Structure 1
Amino acid sequence: MGADREGGARRRPVRAVAYAACGVVLLAGCASMPDSGDLRDVESTPRQDTQVRVFAMPPQQDASSTEIVQGFLEALTSDDPHYDTARKYLTTAAAKTWRPESQATVLANGPSIQATGRPADQDDADSVTYLLQGSRVATVDAAQAYAPSDGAYRKTVHLTKDAKSGQWRIDALPQGVVLGKSDFQRNYTSVDKYYFASDTSAGETGQPVAVADPVFVRSTVDPTTQVVRSLLSGPTTWLGPVVRSSFPTGTALKKGVSGLAPDDQNRVTVPLNVRASRIGAAKCTEMATQLLFTLRNLTPTVDSVALQSVTGAHMCDVDEDQAEATAWRASTKRPEYLYFLDSKHRLVRMPTAGTGTGAVAVPGPFGAGTRPLRSVAVARDERTAAGVTGDGRDLYVTSLASDGSLGGAVLTSHGATADDRLTAPSWDARGDLWVADRDPGKPRLYVLAKGVGQPLTVQVPELNGRIKDVRVAADGARIALVVEKDGEQSLYVGRIERTKSGDQQEVSVLELRSATPGSEEVTAMSWAGDSRLVVVGREQGGVQQTRYVQVDGSTPDGPAPAALTGVRAIAASEDDRVPLVADSQDDGIVRLPTGDQWQKVIKDGSAPVYPG
């Protein structure tokens, strides 16, 4: 148990434990708790090595009502696939109606327990109610989508004593499961499942663009089968309006299939039901591609996926090369160059495949310094660039070719100061250019088709504040916005929806959700994966730090980047093989190779970017 509240004696649950040799931890449901009044925390099981599995103990004979509640809550944190042990703490009727998969509520610590009403376990007592309390951190819904949450958690469980057996059991309880943050981190893992953007194809290739849809699955309960079922059931509610699946409606695993795993050739064979029996070769390849992208995110050693019909016949298969030829995915597209501005505010570049520190001017007007620049963005194909002038007023788009010409500004801001004018621009995979005007008198988010179209005002109906920074996801289905309000700068991720009204296209950013709950100031950010961003900022009362966040607001596994002070800008590629790069007030342009420390590149430089 966690630390007791003031005025209570500390009492710990009895646990039966089997270590190392068998790799199993048993949780005993026999914790002794005070019968009334005092609040007690349910101890979160310390995070175990991934090879250690945790199983719950069933209720003991003549266990007290408090021991039953404690045992049930501990059973929720075990690796029991169907929560069968947890159901043993319930009455027969409650066990039939309880749906643990409907929602998981994550608390900062395990829930505190308090008996309400008359004291429990008195000789004449035959029922008792317990109040479960805690501070919410997040929820995971029935579709396995994570959402940050806050505020108090207060739910009750009711117990009755069986007249014949004399045993306490829970007969009324909230749906879903509740557990502490450390147990959640041990029991669940985040996995990106992949769909295709509804309204986006990649540049000149016309390939469908893969979009990552992160979900949380129980990490030791047949995770491969879980994530395949999740993929087949469709995208999460938030992402659903802007993506499509190549699987026909109603497609599911063949009845009775479980235990999906790679064979000795690192191939996963997925048997499907009859709904997938009448598809063409191209559609089958897209389906297998969705599966391969998803399963490689869970298990990187998977080399190929094969689809099998309900009769056991081979349908199609894809390996990594075939999948990448079928769909465009940002995290597999290694950029050729890193770009930044030199001391003369010209655009320069250096190869990503190397450790050198020499940079050369790009071909064309931006490299020649025709217009001193403040910020830049390079298109995904690295043939075109957009730049905002030093005063923040004008946006230019030009070719990165020696014969390129500058032409006129494609957008002009009328803000009073440079900080009230244009943000750094950003490109998506379809070749559209995004930028915000910070003019307080006329704040706008714009998109320019192919970078040269008429600036189209993007509707952001839920925006509460002023956009300070913009980074569109490569897939063109999501966008990250730093929004300032009342002196605080927060990071939000929104869904990009495109509709047509007559001959006019309308673009909106909808359902903004916080990617950095608790942050007071976000200084810089960049996409750093298909569903991950790198963020520089600080929490209230804290110091500046650099960390990774998921688009759903969760924190990904793995270490944060090495500490760096005075970061003004940061650049990352969706391809994590490419070093993180930052503009440090003290050291200029620096980079962070994987597993290393920050290295100086050039002292007099600014505004580093990778394509995007």
Structure 2
Amino acid sequence: MGADREGGARRTPTRAVAYLACGVVLLAGCASMPDHGDLRGVESTPRQDTQVRVFAVPPSEDALPPQIVQGFLEALTSDDPNYETARQYLTDRARKSWHPQRSTTVLANAPGIEVDWAVNKEERDTFAFLLTGTRIATVDAEQSYAPAGGDYSQQVQLKRDKKSGQWRIDRLPEGIVLGQSDFQRNYMSVNKYYLAANSASGASSQLAAVADPVYVRQRVDPTTQVVRSLLEGPTSWLDPAVLSSFPTGTRLAKGGDPLTPDDHNKLTVPLNDKAARVGLAKCNEMAAQVLFTLQDLTPAVDEVELRAGGAELCSLDTDGATAVATRGPVRSPEYLYFLDEKQRVVRIRSGSTTAGAEPVPGALGEGTRSLRSVAVSRDERTAAGVSLNGGELYVARMEPGAQLGEPVLVSQGKTEDGRLTTPSWDAQGNLWIADRDPAQPRLLLLQAGKNEPLEVEAPALEGRVKSVRVAADGVRIALIVEKDGEQSLLVGRIDLDEKVGEPASVTVRELRNAAPELEEVTTMSWSGDDRLVVVGRAKGGVLQLRYVQVDGSTPKAPAPDALTGVKEIAASEDERLPLVAYSDDGIVRLPSGAQWQTVVKEGSAPIYPG
């Protein structure tokens, strides 16, 4: 190629293209590319220990176009904080227009490279390739993960500098593109925490903390990354339902060092002057948000001190944060509930290893009506039961002498499968249920569990609701929805509009698939701030127990031990409590670090409060 630059013997364009394409075959270990098109590739970057740092390699002298593209893609998988090495593969113009932080595209495998023969014809100082693959997800500028599908094909165009003779990338897709294994190695899911807009307010009331999952690069100062993301505010999906106690415009103070806890696990967070005048109560809420957000990171953070203008604003430890706001249930469930062989509501201590079930106080424990499902309020004072035929919903206090009364809701469905679902209580004491009547399918809310049913709007809902579970934060709702023979798990945001003198309006918005790889989900339950446990089947597979993240990403926790014949599943947002199921073996439980254990042989419909 030196002869070309110096005006010697010139190759024809066709021969030049062939030479460049063949150059890839000579590369060994230069970058991670799968077999694709007319270029030989190698496997994607092997999974490595998460503590091992990966460094990028700058372009070599007189590197060919395929080497430049492969080297650039390899640099995207490194731990270079600002992608400075990757930028060395770009022209000056491309460096100015490329914004890696704006998006990340995740492919099933490392990007394939194909020569774009339609472009590479006569021009000798430019060369184009196509990056190809199967798209499985995107991470946007807010660091929010979303499952995606379809083919990926984007052009990368190189240009040879007339003075130096070096090839560099001149046009490229915005953001980052990498394979799934590299994404899982480089990135980690972290929950930011905001406060539910519908939380009770007042000196004696606690706020509800709501998880907002984002992805950060796990070996590029994740503590500073996630605090900066927290200050920038919630993701667009969650924003309408939550509040941040940080004043608008609050950011980390300029020129500060990376955020690192001291030897006593105390983290000092210097803020700009926007936060300088907050009161102590508001500052404690801010510190609680930071503590909740950093709880799963390493190194551990047990106390947060917020500073602004050179002065301390407040300091809060984990106990103080728990007093300010709650994550998950306000209190750990005291009992596990289920139906015995007489279709009565019975209970055992939630951590008990013995059967010893006792009927709950009141009519539902006396067997006045035979039931098929039950839900217990989060304060464990009230229960709602659906009759054995699925047609009536009863609500009764769980106290001695409490009467059952008339049903608060009656379905007109003609079959059991076309009547009422299992109900679910939210943190405000409201009762949610779906009527599966094909003639009039509805999602309903009974305020305080007794008022006239309010029909919940769900503009994007297509199909029939088969199951309903409301999260402890009262902001998110999980639905199993049947459409065209498939049962999907959807998570939506609850928007509550209450105006003085007017009926409340409730809408479930922006439903998204939390288990896109499953074509059938039969039962589910919330199991923590950001995940659910489900029984589901992938295409061509068998029913399995598994965890799913609310954003549809790959869960951090391994799947629960296998269990056959699971009909219903129950979990608590308090992750210390065992998973419980109704299976072919009766009611069974899965304590941490143990195998499935039988609770009772005869029983059904297990639930924790909620």
Using the size of structure 2 for normalisation, the TM-score is 0.93
**Residue 406, structure 1, aligned to residue 404, structure 2:** yes
Q: How does 1:597-612 map to 2 (within 5 A)?
A: 597-612=595-610
Partner SS, residue 295 of structure 2? helix
Q: What code does the residue aligned with 1:477 have?
A: V
**Residue 371, structure 1, aligned to residue 374, structure 2:** no
Give the C-alpha shift of residue 607 in structure 1: 0.5
Partner SS, residue 115 of structure 2? strand
**Residue 224, structure 1, aligned to residue 223, structure 2:** yes
Partner SS, residue 297 of structure 1? coil
Distance 1:100 1:200 in 2: 37
Distance 1:388 1:426 in 2: 11
Q: Report Cα offsets for 1:396-434 as digits up to 9, x if no partner.
A: 111111132212211111100111110000011111110
Distance 2:492 2:118 in 1: 49
- Structure 1 match to 2:68: 68
Distance 2:268 2:306 in 1: 6
- Structure 1 match to 2:97: 97
Partner SS, residue 197 of structure 2? strand
Distance 2:185 2:591 in 1: 29
Distance 1:142 1:65 in 2: 29
Give the C-alpha shift of residue 518 in structure 1: 2.4
Distance 1:459 1:32, change over 3 A: closer
- Structure 2 match to 1:4: none
Q: What code does the residue aligned with 1:77 have?
A: T
1:419 to 417, 420, 442: 417
Q: How does 1:384-463 map to 2 (within 5 A)?
A: 384-463=382-461
Distance 1:65 1:9 in 2: 9
8 Å Cα contact 1:41-1:109 kept in structure 2: no
1:326 to 301, 324, 328: 324
8 Å Cα contact 1:337-1:350 kept in structure 2: yes
Q: Which runs of 4+ in 1 moved over 6 A?
A: 31-34
- Structure 2 match to 1:87: 87
Distance 2:484 2:328 in 1: 35
- Structure 1 match to 2:267: 268
Distance 1:494 1:33 in 2: 37
Distance 1:70 1:327 in 2: 49
1:317 to 315, 318, 331: 315
Give the C-alpha shift of residue 503 in structure 1: 1.0
Give the C-alpha shift of residue 257 in structure 1: 2.4
**Residue 514, structure 1, aligned to residue 513, structure 2:** yes
Q: Report Cα offsets for 1:204-230 as digits up to 9, x if no partner.
A: 963211111000010000000000001
Q: Report Cα offsets for 1:446-487 as digits up to 9, x if no partner.
A: 111111222100001111100000001111111000000121
1:351 to 349, 352, 377: 349
Q: Report Cα offsets for 1:327-380 as digits up to 9, x if no partner.
A: 122167421111111111111111122322221111111111111111111111
Q: How many residues align?
A: 588
Distance 1:33 1:445 in 2: 47
- Structure 1 match to 2:149: 150
Q: How does 1:21-420 map to 2 (within 5 A)?
A: 28=30, 38-40=38-40, 43-117=43-117, 125-201=124-200, 206-299=205-298, 301-311=300-310, 313-330=311-328, 333-420=331-418
Paired-residue identity, %: 61
8 Å Cα contact 2:23-2:66 kept in structure 1: no
Q: Report Cα offsets for 1:223-272 as digits up to 9, x if no partner.
A: 00000001000000000011010000000001122421221111111110
Distance 1:438 1:32, change over 3 A: closer
Distance 1:323 1:32, change over 3 A: closer
Partner SS, residue 284 of structure 2? helix
Distance 1:538 1:39, change over 3 A: farther
Q: What code does the residue aligned with 1:334 have?
A: S
- Structure 2 match to 1:557: 556
Range with bigger deviation, 599-608 or 500-509: 500-509
Using the size of structure 1 for normalisation, the TM-score is 0.92
Unaligned runs of 5+ in 1: 1-7, 16-27
Q: What code does the residue aligned with 1:138 have?
A: A
Distance 2:34 2:546 in 1: 39
Distance 1:248 1:429 in 2: 27
- Structure 2 match to 1:490: 488
Q: Report Cα offsets for 1:83-127 as digits up to 9, x if no partner.
A: 00100000112112210000000000011101113797x998311
Distance 1:37 1:181, change over 3 A: closer
8 Å Cα contact 1:107-1:180 kept in structure 2: yes
Q: What code does the residue aligned with 1:366 have?
A: L
Distance 1:443 1:533 in 2: 25
8 Å Cα contact 1:42-1:110 kept in structure 2: no
Distance 1:392 1:451 in 2: 18
Partner SS, residue 163 of structure 1? coil
8 Å Cα contact 1:12-1:32 kept in structure 2: no
Cα RMSD after superposing both structures: 2.2
Q: What code does the residue aligned with 2:608 have?
A: Y
